Structure 1
Amino acid sequence: MASIIFFISFFFSLFNISLQISTIASKNVSAVFAFGDSTLDGGNNNHMNTFFRGDHLPYGRDLPQHMATGRFSNGMLSTDYIVQSLGLKDLLPPYYLNPNVSDHDLLTGVTFASGGSGLDNLTIELTSAMDLMSQFKLFEDVLQRLKKSVGEVKTWNVIKKAVFIVSVGTNDLLCNAYLWPTRLIKYANDVSKYHDFLLENLEYFIQKLYGIGARKIVVTGLPPMGCLPLMVTINSMLPGPYWLKRLCNPKQNQECDAYNTKLHSKVHSLEATLKGSKIAFFDIYSPLLDMVQSPLKYGLLEMGPVCNMLDLTCVNASKFLFWDAMHPTQSGYWVLAQNGLKNVLPYVIG
């Protein structure tokens, strides 16, 4: 009985937060523009020659139309929940070669993110994804379309009140530090120096966004990569302390946490130097790790044999945190979105 009361209270508290955010957003947020990797990709990779595509079932299975849209999940992404809560639209659509995106749609935002993208050009060479500067050029294209459609004044009013979300970095560590440690050799196996290299590239990208008018910017940190199913599986197959065990790798988690600490500091310093900006660090590490360690608190099942190789996909994906080897289920993205709506967006919205 106590657990039922807890979940009811938890639901209504989040419902009230969403109502408050929606009310504020109706005045202060015009659009959401997303850049980065597969966690924000609404289908841009559908038209690209890359292995990293979510345009086939069972991806998208639990969306209202039960169709794969290119989202790397069984359903919605965090950005979809965010634009819903802001009262902007139901889903954040992809922009790249998407004939369904009208000039009117652009007024409330799109995503330019590409599954497999990163901050390191070596990552792009491995994944054939769209790098951040290519995504930025697409945003410049959007600006030109809006200026022709609604005029320059209205376009800049939209950009001034828009929220820009950037989520990138996971593929860089995965490809160049953990799977094929090419970059680590260059940095004498010092992952901290590789962090610095990635953060320099991220800083440059944020400055580019600011230079074209972005003022409300949310930057997402790294997840606890040592707990991603892919890393758990790989570590369980290698000789060492995790051999034949389904355990998180604490060393990899600590390295991601260290990167996030540096990123948090970088965000503060950028905000201090970029006049009139509101730049916020979005911590996804803590809620994801908490969901892994305390799944029942979120109504999730513990990682184990319930969803296995004999079941190609779980019948009830909403009870699990991960949908595939790297990406959360719709339920996982929902929890992250609520964290963002409660702890991050109020700051950048003002």
Structure 2
Amino acid sequence: MHPTCLAIFLFLLASFFFQNLEAKIILPKNVTVPALIMFGDSIVDTGNNNHLATLFKCNFPPYGKDFLGGEPTGRFSNGRIPSDILAEELGIKEFLPAYLDPNLQTEELLTGVCFASSGTGYDPLTSQVTSVLSLSDQLKLFKEYIEKLKTLVGEERTATIISQSLYVVCAGSNDFLITYFLTPLRRAKYDVPAYTDFMIQSASTFLQELYDLGARRIAVLSVPSVGCVPYARSLLGGIGGGRGGDGGCIEDVNEAAQLFNAKLSSQMDWLNNKFPEARMVYIDVYFPLLHLNRRPRDYGFEEVSKGCCGTGKIEVAELCNDLNPFTCTDVSKYVYWDSVHPTEKAYQIIFASVEMQAQSLIYKFF
């Protein structure tokens, strides 16, 4: 659900392929990306939660204040999020639509949609707690999407679109921020190493099921340095450990994220060996976000300990509303928009810092 995701998915997109619009990324010859498909949490959710009975939504001001004339669309930021940035960089389209949007145009299906749901995670319990779409629910919608494609363009072209599209998965932050560290829901049964093993098992199952449905080019974002977000600093300072040398970040939370990321990277290597046709890549967004938190002034930011919306300490979703008198007047000075999610400017910087991974990714994909 975090900036790490955004960076990862963006840089991955850059490193991927070239399509037909005016793509800003130069991709290998004879490589096409007909569609971009997103799965995951609020880092990449472009509005699916608007249509769910959950508190984890943001289809109201001041969210979207810098998006198409200030329109709140369900994106957890002041403007565009990684899904949009990646779609544009790939030259596919300017914005990636939410699959559950009732106004979704049929032709949009051909170039990709977003199935992500804010508040979800690899742990099935996370989506139950937040009343949002689990990753399994998102796969069910993807199956429905495939059938719609078959109706539109036939089975042969559908198979081509599914196999050649780029899939990005961004999840895991909510498992730590909500299900594990903030509540005792899992801590009573699992220590951190055991819980990360449980998350890896769930993530691996999801990726294998996605592969079985025809996906081949799959990029998975690491969990970002979630111990640095203002929400964690405010609520987990006395639970998640000390503030140490991470510039105010909660060390225990970040250490858990790093442990999971190491296991995720290894598991993806195993999956690539198991499925020779798979082109799965692990994308690190943990360190780009951590660096931005440690050296914000290097990028023109003045505030990293709180978000722009409200007091910036705990406000997110319903608490980040247009009536809050403390919302900042100059969002360009802030790394975070609310207490969890980066600003569009921060997302773009994270993406730029991850672009250097692009070349090595290309060789893994082709």
TM-score category of the 2 structures, normalised to the smaller one:
0.7 to 0.9
Whole-angstrom distance in 2 between the partners of 1:302 and 1:290:
14
Q: Which residue number corresponds to residue 331 of structure 1?
A: 345
Is the CA contact (8 Å cut-off) linking 2:307 and 2:336 kept in structure 1? Answer: no
The answer to whether structure 1 residue 76 and structure 2 residue 92 are counterparts is: no
What are the superposed Cα offsets for residues 274-293 of structure 1, whole Å, 9 maximum, x if unpaired?
Answer: 12111111111100000000
What is the deviation of 1:236? 4.6
Q: Which residue number corresponds to residue 173 of structure 1?
A: 176
Is the CA contact (8 Å cut-off) linking 1:123 and 1:176 kept in structure 2? Answer: yes
The answer to whether structure 1 residue 279 and structure 2 residue 283 are counterparts is: no
* Percent identity between the two aligned chains: 36
Q: How many residues align?
A: 330
Q: 1:338 to 1:346 in 2, by over 3 A?
A: farther
Whole-angstrom distance in 2 between the partners of 1:320 and 1:213:
41
The answer to whether structure 1 residue 94 and structure 2 residue 98 are counterparts is: yes
Whole-angstrom distance in 2 between the partners of 1:272 and 1:305:
43
Q: Secondary structure at the match of 1:89?
A: coil
Is the CA contact (8 Å cut-off) linking 1:280 and 1:347 kept in structure 2? Answer: no
Matching residue within 316, 333, 336 for 1:319: 333
Whole-angstrom distance in 2 between the partners of 1:99 and 1:155:
22
Whole-angstrom distance in 1 between the partners of 2:208 and 2:194:
21
- Unaligned residue ranges in structure 1 (runs of 5+): 1-13
Whole-angstrom distance in 2 between the partners of 1:240 and 1:199:
23
Q: 1:288 to 1:20 in 2, by over 3 A?
A: same
* Code of the aligned partner of 1:228: V
What is the deviation of 1:160? 1.4
Q: 1:225 to 1:304 in 2, by over 3 A?
A: closer
Higher mean C-alpha displacement, 168-177 vs 322-331: 168-177
Q: Which residue number corresponds to residue 220 of structure 1?
A: 221
What is the deviation of 1:229? 0.5
Aligned pairs for 1:90-239 (under 5 A) are 90-96=94-100, 98-187=101-190, 190-236=191-237
Q: 1:194 to 1:241 in 2, by over 3 A?
A: closer
Whole-angstrom distance in 2 between the partners of 1:270 and 1:78:
25
TM-score by length of 2: 0.83
Whole-angstrom distance in 2 between the partners of 1:338 and 1:142:
32
TM-score by length of 1: 0.87
What is the deviation of 1:311? 5.7
Q: Secondary structure at the match of 1:34?
A: strand
Whole-angstrom distance in 2 between the partners of 1:349 and 1:69:
33
Q: 1:239 to 1:290 in 2, by over 3 A?
A: closer
> Which of the two has higher C-alpha Rg?
1
What is the deviation of 1:123? 1.2
Q: Secondary structure at the match of 1:21?
A: coil
The answer to whether structure 1 residue 43 and structure 2 residue 47 are counterparts is: yes
Is the CA contact (8 Å cut-off) linking 1:22 and 1:87 kept in structure 2? Answer: no
- Unaligned residue ranges in structure 2 (runs of 5+): 1-13, 312-323
What are the superposed Cα offsets for residues 256-303 of structure 1, whole Å, 9 maximum, x if unpaired?
Answer: 111111111111111111121111111111000000001122222243
Whole-angstrom distance in 2 between the partners of 1:291 and 1:48:
33
- Larger relative contact order (C-alpha < 8 A, sep ≥ 6)? 2
Q: 1:116 to 1:241 in 2, by over 3 A?
A: closer
* RMSD between aligned residues: 2.6
What are the superposed Cα offsets for residues 214-237 of structure 1, whole Å, 9 maximum, x if unpaired?
Answer: 000011111112111011012456
Whole-angstrom distance in 2 between the partners of 1:20 and 1:67:
26
What is the deviation of 1:88? 0.4
Is the CA contact (8 Å cut-off) linking 1:278 and 1:347 kept in structure 2? Answer: no
Whole-angstrom distance in 1 between the partners of 2:264 and 2:63:
31
* Code of the aligned partner of 1:276: E
Tell me which protein shows more helix as a share of its residues.
1
Is the CA contact (8 Å cut-off) linking 2:307 and 2:334 kept in structure 1? Answer: no
